[in-house]
Amino acid sequence: MVEVASERIGNYSDESEENEMLIKSFGKIFSGTAAMVFLATSLCFPINVHAQRRAKRKLPAVQKVTVALTEKGYEPTSLKLRRGIPAQVTFIRKVSATCGTQVVIPEYDIKRDLPLNEPVYVAFTPNKSGRFTFSCGMGMLRGSLVVH
C-alpha cells in the first residue's frame, strides 16, 4: 500500500510538471498566433494615413466667404471652395453707379438682387470640381468660383 501511494504521489508530481509545460507551450502558441493574426490583419487592412490626417484637420461645417462689389468690380474676384462642403457667400454692393444690382451663378441656378450696402447671403453646396463664373445680371462684371 505504501508503494502504491508513493507511486501516485510520484505520478502526481509528473502530471503537474507536464501540465505546467503544456500551459507554457500553449502560451507561446497563443502569443505567436495572436502576432500572426495582427500581422495578417495589418496587411489586409492597411492604415490609410491620408484619411487619418484629414480626420485630424477639422473641416468647417460651412465655408463662409464675403465678396464686396466696388467700383473695381468683385473683390475678391476668385473664391476657393471645397467640393461637398456647404458654402455661404455674402455679397455686399458698396457702389450705386454700377450694373451690379444682381449676382448670377448659372452653374447653381442662383440669381439674387443686390441692394446697396446690404449683405445678401447665398447658400449652396459646391458639388462639382472646376472653375465656375459668377457675374452681374448683364454679364459685364465677373468673378469665379474655384471648387476643388
Helix (H) or strand (E) holding 18: helix 2-44
Q: 43-52, 66-75, 100-109, 126-135: lowest mean pLDDT where?
A: 43-52
Closest CA to 105 of 97, 128, 48: 128
> What are the pLDDT digits (tens) for 56-101?
677 789 999 999 999 999 999 999 999 999 999 999 999 998 899 9
Q: Give residue 135's pLDDT.
A: 97
pLDDT at 98: 87
Of residues 135, 82, 95, the one with CA closest to residue 112: 135
pLDDT per residue as tens digits for the range 13-34 = 566 676 576 566 656 665 666 6
Q: pLDDT exceeding 90 applies to what percent of the chain?
A: 57
Cut 0.85: pTM above it = no
Mean pLDDT across 109-137: 97
Smallest CA-to-CA distance from 87 within 107, 66, 63 is with 63
53 falls in which pLDDT band (50, 70, 90)? low
DSSP 75: E
**pLDDT above 60 (res 1):** no
Residue 102 grid cell: 444682381
What's the mean per-residue pLDDT of the chain? 81
Q: Indicate the CATH number of 60-147 among 2.60.120.200, 3.20.20.70, 3.30.70.270, 2.60.40.420.
A: 2.60.40.420
Give domain limits for the chain. 2-46, 60-147
- Do the Cβ atoms of 89 and 132 come closer than 8 Å? no
